[in-house]
């Protein structure tokens, strides 16, 4: 049995076609209240400007064509530094994009005067390690890879007794990229401790402007993974953030300017951006502790000079934050009305109504009003 087709004119049913059927309208009866997207909900992307070449003749005695990194902006301590000043004071090396070759991805690049980044093949190059005087290797690898003793350059180094006695091997083993955020401070401490291992006693690690001070005999470190482009690059970026007091985007730019083949996907950028406030908070706590220790030492020194008795520091017990129930109890004891406080607190949520995803169009609303009048 075949049904007869209804005649259509201009997208609508012809008059009289289909008894009791309303004609179709080309205008929708509703429209979305807010903009809609067909994509999967995701956080905004973190855009990292590509490394460029900046000519700054003033920084190299007036010679034109000097390769300079991007202007990395002001450090967190508020001291504004130009690109040439940051280059000269923090140890950031000029970009090497003009000299980049495809074969360079199989080699290690010097990111900072004491920090190198590259693949596992560079960690097994004994001639390169000896020439660059690298004395610490940090492998960033998966737990499965570590269990099978892969990416272990120490087996190759053990063939040379001289390098075996001089080079130390460490590893950062994680089950996934999300665990890297817990390994960032561990790897950064390894690099810093090795950097100042041979520094003279009492060496000050930071300059007055907050930038690092390079020791006379720095210990050099090579951070590597299988390709030298992903996990090891993230660990190097986290260290650069702490070492020169910069943001995650600036640290990525520093690495891209030296090793152009690194790959920071969106998840890795979010990971580094999430780590940024963590290390900043730790830095602020460390600064406060150092300031308090310096003030206590100065007070003790003055007391010793003037023969004053040392004052005993009283211990203060930090009170926990009061809950809303305690606030109501205090109000009852003072003769107040606790129910009034509850009503005032609940009044904040009275006008928080949800938004309908769609709303009726004007023509649909008018036709609905006409139908109700009838």
The CA–CA distances, whole Å, from 170 to 108, 139, 140, 153, 221 equal 18, 6, 9, 10, 10
Contacts of 271 (CB under 8 A, 6+ apart): 177, 178, 180, 181, 234
Q: What gap in Å lies between CA 360 and CA 30, rounded to an integer?
A: 4
Closest to 83 measured CA to CA, from 213, 115, 94, 209 = 94
The confidence score (pLDDT) of residue 228 equals 94
Q: Which CATH class is domain 65-290?
A: alpha beta
Per-residue pLDDT tens digits for 239-257 = 999 998 889 999 999 999 8
Q: DSSP state, 102?
A: G
Q: What's the rounded Cα separation, in Å, for the pair 251 and 112?
A: 11
The answer to whether the CB of 95 falls within 8 A of the CB of 68 is yes
Q: Given pLDDT bands bounded at 50, 70 and 90, which one contains residue 64? A: very low
Tens of pLDDT, residues 2-27: 444 444 444 444 444 444 444 545 66
**Helical packing angle, 180-195 and 266-306, nearest 10°:** 50
pLDDT value at residue 345? 63
pLDDT at 235 over 60: yes
Instruction: Report in angstroms the alpha-carbon separations of 350 from 87, 328, 333.
Output: 56, 21, 29
The pair phi, psi for residue 148, each rounded to 5°, is -95, 10
pLDDT of 349 > 70? The answer is no
Q: What percent of the chain has pLDDT over 70?
A: 66
Q: Which two tokens stand for residue 12?
A: 């609508």
The single-letter DSSP state of residue 177 is G
For the beta carbon of residue 59, count every other beta carbon within 10 angstroms.
Answer: 18
Average pLDDT over residues 322-348: 59
- Rounded to 5 degrees, φ, ψ at 170 are -130, 160
Give per-residue pLDDT as tens, 48-57.
888 765 433 3
């Amino acid at each position: 049995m075949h049904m007869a087709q209804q005649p259509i004119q201009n997208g609508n049913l012809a008059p009289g076609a289909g008894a009791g059927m309303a004609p179709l309208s080309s205008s929708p009866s509703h429209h979305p209240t807010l903009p809609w997207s067909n994509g999967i909900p995701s956080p905004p992307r973190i855009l990292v400007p590509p490394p460029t070449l900046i000519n700054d003749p003033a920084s190299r005695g007036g010679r034109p064509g000097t390769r300079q990194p991007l202007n990395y902006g002001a450090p967190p301590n508020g001291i504004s530094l130009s690109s040439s000043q940051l280059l000269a004071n923090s140890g950031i090396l000029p970009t090497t994009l003009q000299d980049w070759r495809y074969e360079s991805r199989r080699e290690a690049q010097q990111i900072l005067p004491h920090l190198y980044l590259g693949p596992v093949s560079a960690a097994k190059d004994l001639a390169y390690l000896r020439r660059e005087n690298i004395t610490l290797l940090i492998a960033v690898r998966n737990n499965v890879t570590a269990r099978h003793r892969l990416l272990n350059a120490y087996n190759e180094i053990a063939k040379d007794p001289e390098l075996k006695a001089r080079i130390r091997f460490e590893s950062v083993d994680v089950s996934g990229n999300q665990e890297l955020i817990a390994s960032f401070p561990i790897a950064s401490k390894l690099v810093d401790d090795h950097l100042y291992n041979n520094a003279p006693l009492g060496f000050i690690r930071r300059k007055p402007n907050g930038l690092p001070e390079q020791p006379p005999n720095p210990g050099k470190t090579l951070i590597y993974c299988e390709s030298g482009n992903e996990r090891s690059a993230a660990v190097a970026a986290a260290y650069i953030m702490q070492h020169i007091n910069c943001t995650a985007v600036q640290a990525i730019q520093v690495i891209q300017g030296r090793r152009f083949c690194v790959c920071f996907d969106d998840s890795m950028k979010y990971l580094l951006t999430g780590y940024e406030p963590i290390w900043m908070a730790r830095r602020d706590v460390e600064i406060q502790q150092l300031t308090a220790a310096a003030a206590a030492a100065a007070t003790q020194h003055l007391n010793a000079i003037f023969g004053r008795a040392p004052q005993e520091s009283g211990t203060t017990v930090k009170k926990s934050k009061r809950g809303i129930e305690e606030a109501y109890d205090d109000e009852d004891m003072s003769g107040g009305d606790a129910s009034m406080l509850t009503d005032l607190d609940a009044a904040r949520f009275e006008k928080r109504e949800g938004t309908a995803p769609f709303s009726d169009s004007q023509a649909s609303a008018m036709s609905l009003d006409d139908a109700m009048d009838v």
